[in-house]
Amino acid sequence: MRLSGMITALLPGAYARQNPRIELEDAVVIVTGAARGIGAEAAAMFAAAGSRVWVTDVDADDAARLASTIDGARSARLDVTDRGAWGSVVDEVLTVDGRIDILVNNAGVMPTGPFAEEAAATTDLILDVNVKGVLNGMGAVLPTMVDAGRGHIVNVASMAGMLPLPGMVTYNASKFAAYGASLAARREYDGTGVTVSAVLPSAVRTELSSGADLGGVLPTVDPDDVVRAIVRTVRTRAARVSSPGWVLPGWALVDQFVPESVERVVRELVGHRQAMALDPVERATYLARLERQTLEHSQTKDQTR
């Protein structure tokens, strides 16, 4: 590449201009884990912009209930850990809408607690949903997007994909993996018209983080703050963004220049073990669904072995 071309490629917005523009109006969007939380907010926000939204979730009834409240939305049951289920959903979307413009890989689980006490079934669920779910989703939509010469994938990772937190060892591992997979896929498919962005929220005020006191470790944001960052990547095609926007560059500076000894003192001051400080009452609803999902996932894995 000539020097002038290299400089142009580094200018803000240049990457977006190198790829086919995707207008939100009439875009076909699949959102995973969309029955509640960030996913539900994303489905509503894309639909409000005129997109044709598919609300997908492992809880099919909840997905259908939400879709019925969003003008023009459709729903489908989707276990993101199941490649076959992904194939069925993609086929259905293509049959109905003819294309897939945007995938929001949002589905995720967040058990917390001491790593040495974590059950194998819990570890499997975290890695299968948070990592394999992302990989399965990208693998399912990439062929049709590449054939069309355009498409955008947003993987909802977490600042836990960069910032290690006690009490969240496996969750941290899963989000580091999702973040790395996003950057690698982005490079691999550069030039095809298909882009991949990673969105890294801090602590989000949803049921997922209920009862986990992370306020002293990470700033808290509302789901709509995260979704605005997700929607914005359709225009900017940014490789990575955080919510709030200052957290990612701020942590990068801390990680690069602040000695670990200083970090340790600060973590002690703010209560860095708060990820283990759970309120069982506040978290009861989420934990009940998580227990059910863990059992169902474990039984499915046993049947396929």
Of 102, 107, 105, the C-alpha closest to 25 is 102
Cα–Cα distance for residue pair 98/242, rounded to 1 Å: 32
What are the residues whose beta carbons fall under 8 Å from the beta carbon of 29, sequence distance 6 or more? 43, 46, 51, 52, 53, 54, 101, 102, 103, 104
Surface-to-core class of residue 190, CB atoms within 10 Å of its CB (0-12 exposed, 13-18 middle, 19+ buried): middle
* Nearest alpha carbon to residue 50 among 234, 194, 238: 234
Nearest CA-CA partner of 31 in 123, 186, 141? 141
| Alpha-carbon separation of residue 212 from 54, 83, 215, 242, 250 (angstroms) | 30, 31, 9, 20, 23
Indicate if 171 belongs to the active site: yes
Residue 50 DSSP one-character state: T
Place of tokens 């109905």: 96
Q: Crossing angle of helices 169-188/133-148, nearest 10°?
A: 10
Q: Residue 126: which of 138, 118, 117 has the closest Cα?
A: 118
Rounded Cα–Cα distance for residues 164 and 135 (Å): 22
Q: For residues 200 and 243, is the Cβ–Cβ distance under 8 A?
A: yes
Do β-strands 52-57 and 74-77 pair in parallel, antiparallel, or remain unpaired? parallel
Q: Name the active-site residue from 15, 171, 179, 286.
A: 171
Which value, in Å, is the radius of gyration of the alpha carbons in the chain?
A: 19
Residues marked active site are found at 171
